Structure 1
Amino acid sequence: MARELEAKFTVQGFAAVRAALKGMDARFAGNRFERNVVFDTPSRELQAKGELLRLRQAGHVTLTFKKPSLEPAPAGVKAMDEIETHVEDFDAMRRILAGLGYVEALWYEKCREVWRTKDAVVCLDLLPFGTFMEIEAEPDAIARTAEALGQSMADASAVTYHDLFQQHRKELGLPPEDSFTFEEKDKKCVEAFLAEGGGIQEK
């Protein structure tokens, strides 16, 4: 089981981050539109344990299971143990998981642009409720990369996008809602984001 270490940062658009990435000779590794469905037991046992069972469609289909790592991580860095595999058929896998007793707890959509430095993966994420940057690397590399990109580890977040969405709705005085997907009015923003990165390249 692989150990995943990552930190999220809220950013005000992506132009400055892209410019900084190019300045540090980061390599653009493609972008994609994602559809994700999170499965759980009817009583939400996985969520209660901080675990995740996710089916993702993004050019290819992947099934992922994550659970909190027993090895601690610095403040602002999320540490998860992860198992992931490619799946041939998105809808068939949904039916298999349903047949095993899992239910679809929530859906979410995201546009992701990926850059690679010598020791980190930097993801620029457009979500229906905001713009974010995620850095995946060892803790020291996360801190170095964040500083190079104009971010402070004091602002790093170790929570999930679902948690950030709940915070967003609470700040707006809206009731809780689990799923977050793009609406028709967001279509131009999604198209512009993908075009800026050169189109969907990762398969």
Structure 2
Amino acid sequence: MTTSKQEIEVKLYTPNLKSIIAALEANGASLKSERVFERNVRYEDHEFSLTPQGIVVRLRQDVRTLLTFKGPGIVENGIISREEFEVVVDDYDMMDLILGRLGYYPFMAYEKYRTTYELDGAEIVLDELPYGNFTEIEGDVATIEVMIQKLNLSDAERMPNSYAGLFDIVRQNMELTMAHLTFDAFEGINVPAEAFIKQGETKPPVVDDSDD
């Protein structure tokens, strides 16, 4: 199965996911997918030209394997809009081999647990990553803004960077050396909120790439 769409979403830094679950349930949200573990691998070419262009090529494994391409994004008020193509593939190893033959190599892996809800035309995902918890809301811009109000998230910081981009910022700020964003690598490490702010800035930086 292949899907193509214009992805419109906002990423919010939300350490306390329990309060968001309570708000979702109080508003009658439906559980679309129970908590599942994901392993994501980002690919680059040998010139490392994709990330600077805001392009994402990714293989994701959860209950299935998904190949994703994302084009450059436009950010307005913390909401990211970009073209996205996805296809379910049967064989992860074969897809990895094909990408290699096309000149792409895996340069970064990241892990997370994801729980997915639906409410009033929006998809809301609760993400648990090795460095913190986040909520992503996907829909049209008006729906996203309404959902932020409904879930009492008006004060939550909007994070226009990708999880990979935030990983780079955290590593720089905390002087970490791990190559991949995994739970094993972050075991015993507490990441404070200020670690997501790029040095020299007072708020999270403008997006350079994005992947959810």
Q: Measure the CA separation in 1 of the matches of 2:105 and 2:128.
A: 26
Matches within 5 A, 1:58-137: 58-69=62-73, 72-137=74-139
Equivalent residue number for residue 25 of structure 1: 28
Partner of 2:206: none
Over 3 Å counting, the alpha-carbon distance change for 1:184 and 1:39 in structure 2 is closer
**Is residue 78–residue 159 contact of structure 1 (8 Å, CA) maintained in 2?**
no
Q: Which runs of 5+ in 1 are unaligned?
A: 187-203
When the two structures are aligned, how many residues end up with a matched partner?
183
CA RMSD of aligned residues (A): 1.9
Sequence identity, in percent?
A: 33
User: Residues 68 and 166 (structure 1 numbering): CA distance in 2 closer, same or farther, change over 3 Å?
Assistant: same
Q: Does 1:54 align with 2:55?
A: no
- Partner Cα distance (1:169, 1:144) in 2: 34
TM-score w.r.t. length of structure 1: 0.84
Distance 1:110 1:128 in 2: 7
Q: Specify which structure has the higher proportion of helix.
A: 1
**TM-score scaled to structure 2, two decimals?**
0.80
Structure 2: distance between partners of 1:57 and 1:77: 26
Identify the residue that residue 171 of structure 2 maps to in structure 1.
Answer: 169
Q: What amino acid does structure 2 have at the position aligned with 1:58?
A: D
**Partners in 2 of 1:114 and 1:38 — Cα distance?**
22
Conserved 8 A contact 2:67-2:86: yes
Kindly state the Cα deviation for residue 37 of structure 1 after the two structures are TM-superposed.
0.8
Question: In the TM superposition, what whole-angstrom CA distance separates every residue of 1:20-50 from its partner, at most 9, and x where no partner exists?
Answer: 0001110011231111111110111111110
Matched residue SS, 2:47: coil
Return 5+ residue gaps in structure 2 as ranges. Answer: 188-212
Deviations 1:47-67 (A, max 9, x none): 111000001111111100000
Instruction: Find the aligned partners of 1:53 and 1:164 in 2 and give their Cα distance.
Output: 17
User: CA shift at 1:107, angstroms?
Assistant: 0.7
- Three-state SS of the structure 1 residue aligned to 2:76 is coil
Instruction: Kindly indicate whether residue 42 of structure 2 is the aligned counterpart of residue 41 of structure 1.
Output: no
Matching residue's letter, 1:101: G
Q: Within 2, Cα distance between the matches of 1:48 and 1:55?
A: 19
Counterpart CA distance in 1 for 2:16 and 2:157 is 16
Measure, in 1, the Cα distance between the counterparts of 2:29 and 2:17: 15
